[in-house]
Chain A
Amino acid sequence: MNALSRRSLLRGSAAAAGLFALAACRSAADSGPTAASASPRRGGTLTVATGIDFTPSLLFAQSANTLVQRLVFNTLTRYDDQLKPQPELATSWQLGADGKSITFELRDDVLFHNGRKFTADDVVFAVKNLQNPARSAQLRSTAAAVTDFRKNGDHELTLLLTHPVSNLFDLFEFMIITDSATVEDAVAGGRLIGTGPFRFGERKPGASISLTRNEKYWNPGRPYLDGVEIRIIPQADSLLSSLKTGQSQLSYNVQGKDVATLGADPRFRIKPYDTGAGAYYIGVNVTAEHVGDKRVRQAIAWAVDRDRLVQQALGGYGLASSAPWPKSSPAYSDANATHYRHDPDKARELLKQAGLGPITLPFAHSATPGDTAIAQILQYDLKQVGIETVLQPTDSPTMQKQLISQSMPALWTLSHGFAQLHPATLAVSAYPFNEARNSSHFSSPAYTDIVQRAWNRADSDSADAKALYQQITDTLLDEEFVIDLAIGGEIEVATAKVRGATLNKFNYLNLDDAYLTA
C-alpha cells in the first residue's frame, strides 16, 4: 500500500518537474535588472506597465492613459521644463504683432507611417479636429480661437485667431498630428497612424499594446529602442509584482505608498515629476446648505492637514498646497501654497463667525482604495472642527456624470489636471475651475473678468500676466469653491536599465531618447 503511494508521489513530482522543465525552455520571467551602463544603446524592447487601458475614443483628450500619444504621433512644439516651447514638427514660429496670428515653418522631411508626406494641411486638420466637440478635447476653447488658416506652400502655415491667447502653446503641446484619412478608424479602435517614433502594432484590449520602431523617423538615429510593449495590469499589487520581477521595466502607475518601498530598492530608479499630473482637492457645491458661506469653505481649508495627507495617502510623494499650481507653474509661490495651513482653531473660529454649531455634510469620493483613504483622512480632520461628514463612495462614471451635470453633494474629493500649464488653461479648460460653468455652481463677474483678461493676451510670462495669475489665485483662495490639498506629481518608476524616458505636460510618454543599458 505504502509503496503504491510513494510511486504515486514520485510520478506526481515527476509531472510537476516536467512542467517546470517545459517552463525552462524559454523563460517568460525576466532574470531581473542587471548593472547598468550609461551610454545610449540601440535595440531592445521596453515594457511599460499601466493600470488603465487606452481608450481609443479619448485619443484627443487628456485621459488616464496617454502613453501612446507621443509614441505614435508628434506635436508641433514641446515644452521644456520652464514652459518654453521647443521645435518638434514646427521648426520655427512667429507670433503676429497684435497677438492674433501665428506663423509656423514646418519640417519638410516628415512621413506618416503609411508613407504619406506631412504638410500644412495636416496641421489645419488637427486644429479643426480639436474644435469638434465629439473629440472631448479639453483645450477645445483654445483651438476654437483659431478661425482661419493661410497656407504658404506645403510647409508654412499661419493660424488666425479671434483674439490673443496666452495659452496658445499649451494647445500645440497637446495637439497630436494625425493622419486625417484614418482618424475615424483610430478613434473606433483601429490602427493609429502618425509620424511618431513608433508604429502602432497590435492592440489586445485589456491586455497589451505593442509598438515597433519607425525606421523612417525624422529625428536621425532615434528612437534607440526596437519596440515598446505596453502591458495593461489593472490590479495595483499585480502591477507592482510585474515591476519587481522585471516583467515590466517602467511604470507611472505605482501608488505612492508602494513607491516609498521601491525607493529603497537599488534595482529601481524613482523620478517624481514636479509638473503636477493632478492636484487633489475638495470640491464644494456652493448652493448646498451651510457651504454657500465662504467662511465655512475657508474653515474647511484651515481644518485639513495637508502634510498628513501627503505622507499617509500619497506615500510622501506630493506637495501639500492650498493653491492648484505646481512648482513649475509661473503662478506658483510659496505664499500661495501655504496660504492655508492646518489650524483647527482658526477653522472653529470661522465656523463660529458663520453662526454654525456642529454640522453634517455629505461627502462624495471615488470608490477606489486610494481615494477612499484620502476621504477618510479628510473626514477625520473635519470632524475635529465640528463638521461631520457622511462619506458617499461613488464609482467613477457616476461621479463624472454628477460633476458634469452639476449635481454633486455639498462636498466631494477628486483630483484635477491642467495646473501644470499656463495658468489661463486651468480656468478655461479644467471643468472644476471653469469661469463660465463648473461643478461648484460658482460664478462671479470678477472671476470671469480676471480669467478672460489672463487668457485674452498674447504674452504669458510678463509681469502683467503674472499679476493676473496672482489675482486668479487670490480669488481661488478667497472663494475656496475648489479647496486644493496637494499637488500629486507623476512618479516614474523604472528599473535601473531604463534611461531617457520623459513625459510631456499632458503625460504623453516620450521615448525618442530612451534606451536600455546593457
Chain B
Amino acid sequence: MRTFLLKRLPSALLVLLAASFLIFLILRLIPGDPATSLAGPDAGPEAVAAVRARLGLDQPLPGQYLHWLGHLVTGNLGPSYAIGGQVADLIGEGLGNTVELALGAVVLVIALALPLGVLGATVRRGPVAAAVRALTTAVLAVPPFVTGVLLVLVFAVTLRLLPPGGHESILDQPDIGVQYLLLPAVCLALPSAAVLARYLGDGLERALAEDYVRTATALGVSRRRIVWLHALPNALPSAITVLGLQIGQLLGGAVLVEAIFAWPGLGQLAEQGVLRRDYPVVQDLLLLLVAVYVAVQLLTDLAYAWSDPRIRWE
C-alpha cells in the first residue's frame, strides 16, 4: 500500500501545482485589479501605484506566483487584501459556517425524505398520496432563490417566528443559533429531500413487491414491521448513494442560499473575494477546493487498491 501511495502522490502534487498555476493566471486575466479596487473611485494614479506597491502587485508575475507558493508551503496564507484579517482565519471561519449549514440541511433532508418516501411507497392512492406527489414535484420545480424569499416572507416578515438572515454559531448559543440556521437549512434541504424521497419511495416500492414481503404478510407479520424492519433496510443502500451525491450539491447550493440569508460561509467569502479582487482569498479558496477533490480521488484510489490487490500490483 505504501508503494502504491508513493506512486500516486507525485501525480496528485503535480495536479495541485498545475491548478495553482492556472488559478493564479486566470485571476490575473480577469479585468480590474485589487489596487484600483482598493484605492476607490476617486483615487488618482499615484494613490493606486502606492497601493499596488504595498500589496506587492508591482512585482513581476513569476515573483508574485512564487511568493504565493512560498506562503502556501510555510502554511502562512498571509493577509487578505480587501476583506481584512488573515486568509487562513477567513477560510476557517467560512468553512465552519458552510459545514454548519450543510450539516443542518443534511439532517433536514433525512428528516423530511424518510417519512415522505415511506408515505409515497405505502400510501398509493387517496389525498395523502396526491399531496406527497404534489409536494415533492413543487419543491423540485421551485428554485432555492424563490423558496428562500418565500420562507423569509412567511416565517420572518409575516409570522415573525424566525430571523430573516444572519448567523449566530450554534455551538456558542444553541437556542439562538438554531433559529438562524432553520430557514437557510430548510431552503437548502428541500430540493434534495424531494429527490431523496422519490428514490427512497421507488426503492421501498420495489422492496415491498418482493417475495419475502408476501411471505411475511402470509405469516401474519404486521405491515408496520414489514415496512420499517424488512423492506426499508433493503431500500436504504441506493437511497444512501443518492444522499451522498446530494451532499455535494448541498455544498454547491449553499453559495446561493448563503447570499439570500446573509450567511457568512465560503460562498459569501468567494463572492466577496471575486468582487473585490482579493487575490489571496480567492486563490487559497479555489486551491483548497482542488485539494479536497484531489484528496478524495487519492483516497478513492487507495480504497480500490485496498479492496483489489490486482490494482496494487499494476
Whether A55 touches B82, Cβ cut-off 8 Å, given contacts A26-B175, A238-B260, is yes
A9 lies within 8 A of chain B by Cβ: yes
Pair A140/B47 contact, Cβ less than 8 Å = yes
Shortest beta-carbon distance from A89 to chain B in Å: 25
- In the assembled complex, which residues on chain A have CB atoms less than 8 Å from the CB atom of B157? 241, 244-245
B291 lies within 8 A of chain A by Cβ: no
Q: Give the most central of B93, B164, B176: most A CB within 10 Å.
A: B164
In the complex, A491→B274 CA distance in Å? 28
Q: Which residue of A lies closest to B112 (CB)?
A: A12
- Taking CB atoms and an 8 Å cut-off, the chain A residues in 417-469 that contact chain B are 417-418, 429-432, 434, 437
Pair B90/A205 contact, Cβ less than 8 Å = yes
Q: Which residue of A lies closest to B48 (CB)?
A: A404
Whether A238 touches B262, Cβ cut-off 8 Å, given contacts A8-B118, A207-B166, is yes
Q: Which residue of A lies closest to B119 (CB)?
A: A5
- In the assembled complex, which residues on chain A have CB atoms less than 8 Å from the CB atom of B50? 132-134, 136
B234 lies within 8 A of chain A by Cβ: no
Pair B275/A397 contact, Cβ less than 8 Å = yes
- In the assembled complex, which residues on chain A have CB atoms less than 8 Å from the CB atom of B179? 23, 27-29
Q: Which residue of B lies closest to A400 (CB)?
A: B36
Pair B269/A206 contact, Cβ less than 8 Å = yes
- In the assembled complex, which residues on chain B have CB atoms less than 8 Å from the CB atom of A357? none
B162 lies within 8 A of chain A by Cβ: yes
Interface of B, helix, strand, loop or mixed by DSSP? helix
Q: Which residue of B lies closest to A63 (CB)?
A: B40
Pair A414/B168 contact, Cβ less than 8 Å = no
Pair A26/B176 contact, Cβ less than 8 Å = yes
In the complex, A437→B157 CA distance in Å? 49
- In the assembled complex, which residues on chain A have CB atoms less than 8 Å from the CB atom of B149? 237
In the complex, A26→B178 CA distance in Å? 11
A328 lies within 8 A of chain B by Cβ: no
Shortest beta-carbon distance from B284 to chain A in Å: 14
- In the assembled complex, which residues on chain A have CB atoms less than 8 Å from the CB atom of B86? 189
- Taking CB atoms and an 8 Å cut-off, the chain B residues in 159-188 that contact chain A are 160-168, 175-176, 178-180, 182
Task: Give the size category of A's interface with B.
Answer: 35 or more
- In the assembled complex, which residues on chain A have CB atoms less than 8 Å from the CB atom of B31? 394-395, 397-398, 401
| Listed stretches A148-156, A214-222, A228-236, A255-263; interface member | A228-236
- In the assembled complex, which residues on chain B have CB atoms less than 8 Å from the CB atom of A417? 42
- In the assembled complex, which residues on chain B have CB atoms less than 8 Å from the CB atom of A138? 40, 42-43
Shortest beta-carbon distance from B180 to chain A in Å: 6
| Listed stretches A14-22, A336-344, A473-481; interface member | A14-22
| Chain B 25-55 near chain A by CB (<8 Å), digits 1 or 0 | 0000001111011111111111111110110
Pair B32/A2 contact, Cβ less than 8 Å = no
In the complex, A398→B45 CA distance in Å? 15
- In the assembled complex, which residues on chain A have CB atoms less than 8 Å from the CB atom of B199? none
In the complex, A231→B35 CA distance in Å? 26
In the complex, A26→B174 CA distance in Å? 10
Shortest beta-carbon distance from A291 to chain B in Å: 21
Among A231, A234, A404, A414, point to the contact of B166 (Cβ < 8 A): A231
Pair B37/A56 contact, Cβ less than 8 Å = no
Pair A247/B164 contact, Cβ less than 8 Å = yes
In the complex, A518→B258 CA distance in Å? 34
In the complex, A404→B137 CA distance in Å? 52
A62 lies within 8 A of chain B by Cβ: yes
In the complex, A97→B262 CA distance in Å? 55
Pair B175/A58 contact, Cβ less than 8 Å = no
| Chain A 1-42 near chain B by CB (<8 Å), digits 1 or 0 | 110110011011001000110110111111110000000000
Pair A241/B264 contact, Cβ less than 8 Å = no
Among B54, B123, B275, point to the contact of A134 (Cβ < 8 A): B54
- Taking CB atoms and an 8 Å cut-off, the chain A residues in 239-271 that contact chain B are 241-242, 244-247
In the complex, A55→B39 CA distance in Å? 11
B80 lies within 8 A of chain A by Cβ: yes
Q: Which residue of B lies closest to A431 (CB)?
A: B42
- In the assembled complex, which residues on chain B have CB atoms less than 8 Å from the CB atom of A397? 31-34, 36-37, 275-277
- Taking CB atoms and an 8 Å cut-off, the chain A residues in 327-372 that contact chain B are none
Among A2, A31, A241, A246, point to the contact of B165 (Cβ < 8 A): A241
- In the assembled complex, which residues on chain B have CB atoms less than 8 Å from the CB atom of A54? 84
| Chain B 88-119 near chain A by CB (<8 Å), digits 1 or 0 | 00100110000000000000000100010011
- In the assembled complex, which residues on chain B have CB atoms less than 8 Å from the CB atom of A247? 156, 163-166
Pair B46/A133 contact, Cβ less than 8 Å = yes
Pair A62/B40 contact, Cβ less than 8 Å = yes
A204 lies within 8 A of chain B by Cβ: yes
- In the assembled complex, which residues on chain B have CB atoms less than 8 Å from the CB atom of A205? 80, 83-85, 90, 93, 264, 269, 272
Pair B175/A22 contact, Cβ less than 8 Å = yes
Q: Which residue of A lies closest to B156 (CB)?
A: A245
In the complex, A238→B187 CA distance in Å? 14
Among A23, A25, A137, A140, point to the contact of B182 (Cβ < 8 A): A23
In the complex, A1→B228 CA distance in Å? 12
- Taking CB atoms and an 8 Å cut-off, the chain B residues in 51-71 that contact chain A are 51, 53-54
In the complex, A430→B41 CA distance in Å? 8
- In the assembled complex, which residues on chain B have CB atoms less than 8 Å from the CB atom of A15? 111
- Taking CB atoms and an 8 Å cut-off, the chain A residues in 158-196 that contact chain B are 188-190
Shortest beta-carbon distance from A191 to chain B in Å: 11
A53 lies within 8 A of chain B by Cβ: yes
Pair B260/A136 contact, Cβ less than 8 Å = no
A396 lies within 8 A of chain B by Cβ: yes
Pair A234/B41 contact, Cβ less than 8 Å = no
Pair A231/B262 contact, Cβ less than 8 Å = yes
A57 lies within 8 A of chain B by Cβ: yes
Shortest beta-carbon distance from A54 to chain B in Å: 8
Pair A28/B164 contact, Cβ less than 8 Å = no
Whether A5 touches B122, Cβ cut-off 8 Å, given contacts A136-B40, A242-B165, A434-B44, is yes
Among B38, B54, B83, point to the contact of A189 (Cβ < 8 A): B83
Shortest beta-carbon distance from B5 to chain A in Å: 38
B7 lies within 8 A of chain A by Cβ: no
Pair B163/A28 contact, Cβ less than 8 Å = yes
In the complex, A26→B165 CA distance in Å? 16
Among A9, A133, A395, A405, point to the contact of B275 (Cβ < 8 A): A395
Among A25, A242, A431, point to the contact of B44 (Cβ < 8 A): A431
Chosen A-B contacts, 20 in total, with CB atoms closer than 8 Å, are A5-B123, A8-B118, A9-B119, A22-B175, A23-B162, A23-B179, A28-B179, A29-B179, A54-B84, A55-B82, A63-B40, A136-B39, A136-B43, A136-B50, A137-B47, A189-B80, A238-B164, A400-B36, A400-B37, A416-B41
Q: Which 3 A-B pairs have the closest CB atoms?
A: A189-B84, A397-B32, A133-B50
